[in-house]
Amino acid sequence: MERASQTSRAVYPGTFDPVTYGHIDIIKRAHLLFDEVIVACAENAEKATLFTLEERIAMLREATEGIAGVSVEPFYGLVVDFVRTKKINVMIRGLRMISDFEYEFQMALTNRRLDDTIETIFMMPSEQYSFLSSKLIKEAAGLGATGLVSFIPAFVEERLQRKLHRR
Amino acid sequence: MERASQTSRAVYPGTFDPVTYGHIDIIKRAHLLFDEVIVACAENAEKATLFTLEERIAMLREATEGIAGVSVEPFYGLVVDFVRTKKINVMIRGLRMISDFEYEFQMALTNRRLDDTIETIFMMPSEQYSFLSSKLIKEAAGLGATGLVSFIPAFVEERLQRKLHRR
Amino acid sequence: MERASQTSRAVYPGTFDPVTYGHIDIIKRAHLLFDEVIVACAENAEKATLFTLEERIAMLREATEGIAGVSVEPFYGLVVDFVRTKKINVMIRGLRMISDFEYEFQMALTNRRLDDTIETIFMMPSEQYSFLSSKLIKEAAGLGATGLVSFIPAFVEERLQRKLHRR
Amino acid sequence: MERASQTSRAVYPGTFDPVTYGHIDIIKRAHLLFDEVIVACAENAEKATLFTLEERIAMLREATEGIAGVSVEPFYGLVVDFVRTKKINVMIRGLRMISDFEYEFQMALTNRRLDDTIETIFMMPSEQYSFLSSKLIKEAAGLGATGLVSFIPAFVEERLQRKLHRR
Amino acid sequence: MERASQTSRAVYPGTFDPVTYGHIDIIKRAHLLFDEVIVACAENAEKATLFTLEERIAMLREATEGIAGVSVEPFYGLVVDFVRTKKINVMIRGLRMISDFEYEFQMALTNRRLDDTIETIFMMPSEQYSFLSSKLIKEAAGLGATGLVSFIPAFVEERLQRKLHRR
Amino acid sequence: MERASQTSRAVYPGTFDPVTYGHIDIIKRAHLLFDEVIVACAENAEKATLFTLEERIAMLREATEGIAGVSVEPFYGLVVDFVRTKKINVMIRGLRMISDFEYEFQMALTNRRLDDTIETIFMMPSEQYSFLSSKLIKEAAGLGATGLVSFIPAFVEERLQRKLHRR
């Protein structure tokens, strides 16, 4: 049955600047539900990112290495266009807080109008990551914080510190 | 592969007192993602419901009649116990508003602690149902509102009016 | 012009159990915008109120005495039916907090579906009343609080104390 | 009576960059309550807008053409100064979501302190526009979205696409 | 200096029906800041509690046994009256979620009006308890959940199960 | 006892660009609970501020002049590092609104992970300042608002007007 094989694949889109344990938690949870999870990393020409697309993808790949069924790909432009190209009909988003909720709802409803064959489903990270954000990690590191390994993998922290303090 | 066949089945639990077009919208959206959706209607011995479990199940069945792959079943006690018995690992919940969000998060995190092999995913109803609730419909009908067919199926309204005003 | 004369009348519905300075603040603000403000006090057969409908209306009348153009009336059943009977097309609600916001939106959207010729507008009380509620006042008084005259008129406090402690 | 004639006029201020069906919905609802609605388009020297003031006003005029009693005007500086100049005592704001609510409350309370003879009233757009924002539309169009006519009038989309992609 | 010695004592009021690890977390954190923490357990004649005042106090005492400087006392009526009697000027409340926030703000502002010499300060539980509530635990246990020891101490679970299922 | 003497000192960190009566209200309330309150003004190299660090500190000092036990100091980098250096274990933050709440929680949880010996406590400003923000004041003044003395001290307004309009 066509539909069934589609539902075992899902896209998890984001900017991942850089990937955190909150993202990794969602990837693992998504992978319990879907055979194949494509982590789609946004080019985001509009928003300035700290890491380049290539750097963000390299970190995502390193962080998800060895999880069969999880792959990482860049995307340009609208996420619904990327998802449609892949012949997938479900996107995953992590929901952390109230402000997330509103933004995510806006995005999901806009995406639904752009392509109503694609559904967004929301998953909940573990409580320990419920307030974690890439933005806060970057701010903390920028102000001199070290030992961020309860938030991000060690190799990500190393690159973050190098990016922020050594150039 | 075991996991894949599991992910094509999902449980959508609730009280459904009575079923609204908001619930039906979520059932249809869930059914696009999963081969089989079991609508699990809670006995809820603690909370007083307007309709009996049998009446709520009968309305759910009538409302989802003809949708292959959707079935309706009662459950007693903890929803995670019901889901586990069915050898399913995913529950679906509709997310409407901020207050939903909090309650749903509390419930989902509690359920995760009770059984961490079961994930809750959240789906978003159509905007037109984003503020709809069974409770509000019952209140409106109790105060004399008629013509509620943009909220609930006609046969549900008929039973609601009869329940509220003819006994 | 018909419409113009209608817009200079508005209904401010509620339970007012009992009236607080927050309600009175909204009444006065509404009266700056509309020639005539009808304060509509709900019978609310479903919800148990501390004061009877007659008592609540008497306190509202005393609290708004001398404000030309403000009248107080009971209503039974749906508020939109009451508003329609009065040939008015606008209802006023005070918005205090986030939880208000959701409930008020639900109510207003439901009312709009029941009668889309009637609009709900929201007004903001003074900050000093932004967290005030009849419920909290009743709880505080029930636990022995006195000197509540920064929340409710003195004659309301007197009746509240008598109601709670002398029967 | 002076006050009555004042209340049949209201100002609906905003940036309208560009006008959406959500704004148009509020304008029409406001017009049911007030004889005259002045849509006041902010110069906003501080915030960079995508469209110039002239372009935003032209689109607003085209979108509200033929609605007797609705006019569009630019304003510079504080909105309360503009409203006062017009001898009007009511401003209208659309309320969509929680985050709106907070920002709008802050603004309204600040405006009240700047001029306490001017009241802000809040109106609720139709559910179908409850999550719509100019910002999201611009982002989607910037990423290549087309067919946005369920969000904005066709002539607005045409100008948006031209603005974003042809320069 | 009088004030200094007062600030090293604080009251942590609540219903504690029953005490959870979230409460215990707050008690420990409060105790890092204040020499003496009085856990004040409300009689709450108005609200029906599952456990009697005596039972709730016994569990609190057992849960905080051995923490020097923490004591447990019942209180009747208004919490500000209790705090004033103790010659203390600070109350502690745990803040978990948005809905907490509103209710807590309402309470704290009301209490401030009742006695403006007493301040309420808010503390944040560990993330792992950020969604935990006595109510949810009681519901889960009532539906048959067991193994709740990540939420409540084992001896509390035992009494909860006995209370719910053996009478 | 070591801990006791520590708890009578607290840090109140912020950007204070510029100080408002909301900040001053929190400083005074904090000072009722702690012998010594250090107002810590962030350098914030990342965020552009309207006033320089020196200007912001000068205004804070003028605003808190004569309150024995309150001092103002700059800090650079992470606030937890500053607090630790001072051998203090408590930070104070004012909580105004929902959006505050989330951001503050994120910050506080991040800080707790960076140094779990430091607690953040939240205090509530007076209702009259519950919606006040430095950002809004700057925007209003930028648009030509004058007479802001219900929000900020007169000498602060003077410097704000000079900063915004005379250069």
In angstroms, what separates the C-alpha of E132 from chain B's closest C-alpha? Answer: 7
Query: Residue B165, exposed/middle/buried by CB under 10 A (0-12, 13-18, 19+)?
Result: exposed
In angstroms, what separates the C-alpha of D122 from chain B's closest C-alpha? Answer: 18
Average pLDDT on D69-92 reads 95
Known catalytic membership, residue B134? yes
Nearest to E136 among B81, B98, B110 (CB): B110
* Strand partners for C120: C91
Residues with Cβ < 8 Å from D61, sequence gap 6 or more?
Answer: D72
SS3 state at D152: coil
Mind telling me the catalytic residues of A?
Answer: 23, 47, 96, 134
pLDDT category of residue B4 using cuts at 50, 70 and 90: very low
pLDDT category of residue B106 using cuts at 50, 70 and 90: confident
Q: Which amino acid is at A48?
A: A
Contacts of C113 in chain B (CB under 8 A): 150-151
* Residue among C97, C126, C127 with most chain F CBs within 10 A, to mutate: C127
pLDDT category of residue F1 using cuts at 50, 70 and 90: very low
Determine contact, residues C151/E113, Cβ cutoff 8 Å: yes
pLDDT category of residue D5 using cuts at 50, 70 and 90: very low
Average pLDDT on C105-134 reads 89
Chain A contacts to F (CB-CB under 8 A): 97-99, 131-133, 136-137, 139-140, 142-145, 147, 150-151
Report how many Cβ contacts below 8 Å link chain B to chain C. Answer: 31
Length of chain E, please?
167
pLDDT at E45: 66
Of the candidates F100, C32, F125, B84, which has an alpha carbon nearest to the alpha carbon of residue D7?
C32
Average pLDDT on D81-109 reads 87
Known catalytic membership, residue C96? yes
Total-model pTM: 0.91
Of the candidates A84, A106, A4, which has an alpha carbon nearest to the alpha carbon of residue A40?
A84
Of the candidates B81, B80, B83, B105, which has an alpha carbon nearest to the alpha carbon of residue B38?
B83
pLDDT at B2: 38
Nearest to D98 among B98, B128, B130 (CB): B98
Helix (H) or strand (E) holding D42: strand D36-42
pLDDT at D108: 87
Determine contact, residues C123/D121, Cβ cutoff 8 Å: yes
Average pLDDT on C107-134 reads 90
Query: Residue D147, exposed/middle/buried by CB under 10 A (0-12, 13-18, 19+)?
Result: exposed
Q: D78 vs F144: CB contact, 8 Å cut-off?
A: yes
Buried/exposed code over C144-157 (b: 16+ C-beta within 10 A; e: otherwise): ebeebeebbbeebb
Average pLDDT on B104-131 reads 89
Q: B133 vs C106: CB contact, 8 Å cut-off?
A: yes
pLDDT at C17: 96
Residue with tokens 């109803």: B125
Chain D contacts to F (CB-CB under 8 A): 46, 77-78, 81, 98-99, 102, 105-107, 109-110, 113-114
Residue with tokens 């901020």: B98
Cα C106 to Cα B133: distance, rounded to the nearest angstrom: 8
Cα A19 to Cα A153: distance, rounded to the nearest angstrom: 9
Q: F106 vs A144: CB contact, 8 Å cut-off?
A: no
| pLDDT exceeds 50 at position F97 | yes
Q: Which among B31, B56, B134, B159 is annotated as catalytic?
A: B134
Determine contact, residues E45/E75, Cβ cutoff 8 Å: no
Cα F75 to Cα F83: distance, rounded to the nearest angstrom: 9
* Residue among A20, A101, A136, A143 with most chain F CBs within 10 A, to mutate: A143
Cα C11 to Cα C80: distance, rounded to the nearest angstrom: 10
Of the candidates F100, F135, F139, which has an alpha carbon nearest to the alpha carbon of residue F120?
F100
Q: In which residue ranges of chain A is pLDDT below 70? A: 1-7, 45-46, 98-99, 167
Cα A139 to Cα F78: distance, rounded to the nearest angstrom: 9
pLDDT category of residue F98 using cuts at 50, 70 and 90: low
Among B136-140, D37-41, E132-136, the range with the most confident prediction by mean pLDDT is D37-41
Q: F105 vs A131: CB contact, 8 Å cut-off?
A: yes
Known catalytic membership, residue B23? yes
Contacts of D81 in chain F (CB under 8 A): 144
pLDDT at A3: 42
Q: Two tokens at C151?
A: 């929340």
Cα D75 to Cα D44: distance, rounded to the nearest angstrom: 9
Q: A114 vs D143: CB contact, 8 Å cut-off?
A: no
Chain F contacts to A (CB-CB under 8 A): 46, 77-78, 81, 98-99, 102, 105-107, 109-110, 113-114
In angstroms, what separates the C-alpha of C127 from chain F's closest C-alpha? Answer: 6
Cα C159 to Cα C55: distance, rounded to the nearest angstrom: 9
Determine contact, residues A127/B109, Cβ cutoff 8 Å: yes
Determine contact, residues D7/C34, Cβ cutoff 8 Å: yes
pLDDT at D2: 38
Chain A contacts to B (CB-CB under 8 A): 1, 3-4, 7-8, 29, 32-35, 89-90, 95, 98, 101, 105, 108-109, 112, 119-124, 127
pLDDT category of residue B108 using cuts at 50, 70 and 90: confident
* Strand partners for A94: A123
pLDDT at B46: 67
Contacts of D118 in chain F (CB under 8 A): none
* Strand partners for C22: none
Structural domains in chain B, sorted by start:
9-129 (3.40.50.620)
pLDDT at B100: 75
Determine contact, residues C82/C99, Cβ cutoff 8 Å: no
**Cα dihedral D94/D100/D102/D107 (nearest 10):** -50
Average pLDDT on C113-126 reads 92
Of the candidates B88, B78, B73, B86, which has an alpha carbon nearest to the alpha carbon of residue B110?
B78
DSSP assignment of chain A equals -HHHHHHTEEEEEE--TT--HHHHHHHHHHHHH-SEEEEEEE--SSS--SS-HHHHHHHHHHHHTT-TTEEEEEE-S-HHHHHHHTT--EEEEE--SHHHHHHHHHHHHHHHHH-TT-EEEEE---GGGTT--HHHHHHHHHTT----TTTS-HHHHHHHHHHHH--
SS3 state at C37: strand
Known catalytic membership, residue F112? no
Q: Two tokens at C111?
A: 């009312």
User: Rg of chain C over CA atoms, in angstroms?
Assistant: 16
CA distances from E144 to A100, B41, B91, C39 (A): 33, 17, 19, 48
Residues with Cβ < 8 Å from F158, sequence gap 6 or more?
Answer: none
Percentage, residues of chain B above pLDDT 90: 71
Q: Which among E28, E29, E96, E112 is annotated as catalytic?
A: E96
pLDDT at D3: 42
Q: B121 vs A33: CB contact, 8 Å cut-off?
A: yes
Average pLDDT on F33-51 reads 90
Determine contact, residues E61/E27, Cβ cutoff 8 Å: no
Of the candidates D26, D18, F68, D19, which has an alpha carbon nearest to the alpha carbon of residue D10?
D26
SS3 state at C97: coil
Q: What are phi and psi of D15, to 5 degrees?
A: -100, -35
Contacts of F128 in chain C (CB under 8 A): 127-128
What mean pLDDT is reported for chain B? 90
Q: F128 vs C127: CB contact, 8 Å cut-off?
A: yes
Determine contact, residues F83/F116, Cβ cutoff 8 Å: no
What are B42-55's pLDDT values in tens digits? 997 667 899 999 99
What are E97-150's pLDDT values in tens digits? 766 777 788 888 889 989 999 999 999 999 888 888 999 899 999 999 999 999
